[in-house]
A and B are shown apart, each in its own frame.
Chain A
Amino acid sequence: MTEIERALAEKLLALADDELILAHRNSEWTGHAPILEEDIALANIAQDELGHAMLYYELHCALAGGTPDRLAFFREAADFRNVQLVELPKGDWAFTMLRQYLFDAYELALLAQLTHSAHRPLAEVAAKVRNEELYHYKHTGAWVRRLGLGTEESHCRMQTALNELWPYTAQLFTPGADEEVLVKAGITPPPAEVREAWAAKVLPWLEAANLSIPLAPTVTLRRAEHTPHLTRLLAEMQSVARSDPAAEW
Chain B
Amino acid sequence: MTDNYKILQEKSQDYIKKIYDDKIVIKVQTGTSGQAVGADEILKSLKNKSNININILEVGSMGLMYLEPILVVVLPSKDKIFYAHVNESLANKIYDHYSNNKSILKENAFAYESNNNLDIDIPKISELPQFSKQLRIATRNFGEITPGDIFQYINSGGYQAVNKALFEMSPDNVVDEVKNSGLRGRGGAAFPTGLKWSFLAPSKAPVKYVLCNCEEGDPGAYNDKGILETDPHTLVEGLILNGYATNSNKSYVFIRQGHDIPIKAIERAIQESYDNGLLGNNILGSDFSFDMEVSLTGDSYVAGEETALMEAIEGKRSTPRFKPPFPAASGLWKKPTNINNVKTISYVPEIIKNGSDWFKSTGTEKSTGTAIVCLSGHINRPGMYEIPMGMTIEDVLEDIGGGSSSKTEIKMLQTGGPLGGVLGKEGFTTKIDFDEMAKAGAILGSGGIIVCDESVSVVDLIRNLVAFNQFESCGKCFPCRLGNTHMYDVLERLCNSSSKPNDLELLERIGKSMKIGSLCGHGQLGYNPISSSLKYFQNEINDSINNKLKPLEKMLTPTRTRPNNLE
**Same complex origin of A and B:** no
